[in-house]
């Protein structure tokens, strides 16, 4: 059985443009006053054609429009992309087609057009249910707009996710308890809950270096927020199936599971990465971050890739561990062995299991709820010297 048949096969398409740059964001996103969507369409379609020629006969499990802010794309562009994808690959019966969206009234107005194009899942970047904090996070919407957008989304799409960020400036545990309760009152089937991380190459990072980013929670408060989140979500039937993602059983993100299960995925667009396996050889693809550079490369050279490398057994094994141990279901030790990675130390597995941090059951190794906050340390312990 081929790797994509075990881990899944997905396609990620990156739309790099945003209406504004959020101060916490370190994604590859750019603000542009003018975008030639027809030109971008031609480039996307050309890349779809190129990758399809390499992966004929595969069944496509998921498509993900990420960004940037894909809800700035015209619905006609999304339709053209999905039409070309469907011309090349056989979609799985339960294919998931997700588009990330911001909850402004303008973008919510495009939801019906995206649905008609074929999108069946939307992920809405709410981020906070407090107008003051939304402004501090650089968001362009209000709580009222977010709630309206979620209502429209739920009436339009089969499945809806929304994101929240916690451990924000001046946020108390009680504040987060109330906000999480408000989120759950909306009866979501999937929630992505991220603890604020201040990255160096962001506006927040610069403020922190200048001592101007005040009111961030200390480590103990951040931990309290995390554990409260896990317990409340579990109690409401949306357990963490991955470190930051919670869903009702059966409604987990299929696309993200392709990543975490080390499946194959095509990455199209500036800054997009991919993983493709052919005959046991696993390739990593990458593209230039700059939108203009990527666009001109596709037009001039016929490829948006800036690099393609064969992953070594060590690289494959470490990536398999780092991705697979993020999810509750864990990893198959047999699949890890098939990467050519050295066998894990039974002594270290026993030690971590005795500490309640991991659980070994037949062929499956998984991190426990107790171990999840220590995931990086667990992985370092497991990787052979």
Share of the chain above pLDDT 90, in %: 91
In the predicted model, is pLDDT for residue 26 greater than 90?
A: no
pLDDT reported for residue 84: 98
Alpha carbon 167 to chain centroid, angstroms: 20
User: How far is 123 from 192, CA to CA, in rounded Å?
Assistant: 9
pLDDT reported for residue 28: 87
> Do the Cβ atoms of 153 and 124 come closer than 8 Å?
yes
Structurally, at CATH architecture level, domain 3-258 sits in 2-Layer Sandwich (3.30)
> Residue ranges per domain, the chain?
3-258, 312-385
pLDDT reported for residue 385: 78
> Do the Cβ atoms of 277 and 304 come closer than 8 Å?
no
- The string of DSSP letters for 113-177 reads HHHHHT--EEEEEEE-S-HHHHHHTT-S--HHHHHHHHHHHHHH-SEEEEEEEES-TT--HHHHH
User: How far is 56 from 62, CA to CA, in rounded Å?
Assistant: 16
Going by pLDDT thresholds of 50, 70 and 90, the confidence category of residue 33 is: confident
37-80 pLDDT tens trace? 999 999 999 999 999 999 999 999 999 999 999 999 999 999 99
332-382 pLDDT tens trace? 999 999 999 999 999 999 999 999 999 999 999 999 999 999 999 999 999
Going by pLDDT thresholds of 50, 70 and 90, the confidence category of residue 205 is: confident
In the predicted model, what is the mean pLDDT of residues 126-149? 95
pLDDT reported for residue 32: 83
79-105 pLDDT tens trace? 999 999 999 999 999 999 999 999 987
154 conformational bin, left if phi > 0, alpha if psi -120 to 50, beta if neither: alpha
Q: Is the pTM higher than 0.75?
A: yes
- Describe the strand order of the beta sheet including 9-15 as a list of residue ranges: 240-242, 245-247, 190-195, 159-166, 121-127, 90-101, 59-67, 9-15, 264-268, 274-278, 281-286, 307-310
Give the chain's end-to-end CA distance (angstroms, integer): 31
Average pLDDT over the chain reads: 96
Check residues 315 and 208 and name the one with the higher pLDDT: 315
pLDDT reported for residue 328: 97
Check residues 275 and 211 and name the one with the higher pLDDT: 275
The CATH number of 312-385, from 3.20.20.70, 3.10.580.10, 3.40.50.2300, 1.10.10.920, is 1.10.10.920
Going from the C-alpha of 53 to that of each of 49, 88, 334, the distances in angstroms are 6, 8, 31
Which H or E run includes 265?
strand 264-268
pLDDT reported for residue 107: 87
Going by pLDDT thresholds of 50, 70 and 90, the confidence category of residue 208 is: confident
User: How far is 367 from 376, CA to CA, in rounded Å?
Assistant: 11
């Amino acid at each position: 059985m081929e790797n994509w048949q075990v881990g899944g096969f997905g396609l990620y398409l990156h739309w790099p443009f945003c209406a504004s740059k959020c101060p916490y964001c370190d994604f590859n996103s750019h603000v542009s006053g003018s975008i030639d969507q027809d030109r971008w369409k031609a480039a996307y379609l050309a890349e779809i054609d190129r990758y399809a020629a390499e992966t004929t006969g595969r069944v496509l499990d998921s498509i993900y429009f990420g960004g940037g802010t894909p809800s700035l794309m015209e619905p006609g562009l999304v339709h053209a992309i999905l039409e070309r994808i469907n011309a090349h690959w056989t979609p799985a019966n339960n294919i998931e087609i997700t588009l990330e969206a911001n909850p402004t009234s303008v973008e919510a107005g495009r939801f019906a057009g995206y649905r008609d194009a074929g999108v069946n899942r939307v992920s809405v970047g709410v981020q906070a249910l407090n107008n003051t904090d939304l402004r501090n996070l650089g968001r362009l919407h209000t709580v009222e707009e977010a709630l309206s957008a979620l209502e429209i989304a739920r009436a339009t799409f089969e499945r809806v996710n929304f994101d929240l960020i916690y451990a924000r400036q001046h946020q108390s545990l009680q504040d987060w308890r109330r906000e999480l309760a408000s989120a759950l009152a909306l009866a979501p089937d999937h929630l992505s809950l991220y603890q604020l991380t201040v990255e160096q190459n962001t506006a927040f990072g610069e403020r922190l270096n200048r001592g101007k980013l005040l009111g961030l929670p200390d480590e103990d408060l951040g931990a309290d927020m995390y554990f409260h989140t896990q317990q409340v979500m579990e109690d409401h039937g949306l357990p963490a199936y991955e470190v930051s993602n919670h869903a009702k059983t059966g409604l987990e993100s299929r696309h993200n599971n392709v990543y975490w299960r080390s499946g194959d995925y095509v990455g199209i667009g500036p800054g997009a990465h991919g993983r493709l396996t052919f005959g046991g050889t696993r390739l990593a693809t990458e593209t230039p971050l700059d939108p203009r550079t990527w666009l001109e490369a596709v037009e001039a050279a016929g490829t948006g890739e800036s690099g393609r490398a064969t992953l070594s057994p060590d690289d494959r094994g470490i990536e398999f561990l780092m991705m697979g141990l993020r999810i509750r279901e864990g990893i198959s030790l047999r699949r890890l062995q098939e990467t050519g990675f050295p066998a894990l130390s039974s002594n270290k597995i026993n030690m971590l299991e005795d500490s309640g941090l991991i659980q070994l059951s037949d062929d499956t190794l998984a991190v426990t709820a107790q171990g999840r906050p220590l995931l990086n340390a667990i992985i370092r312990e497991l990787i052979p010297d």
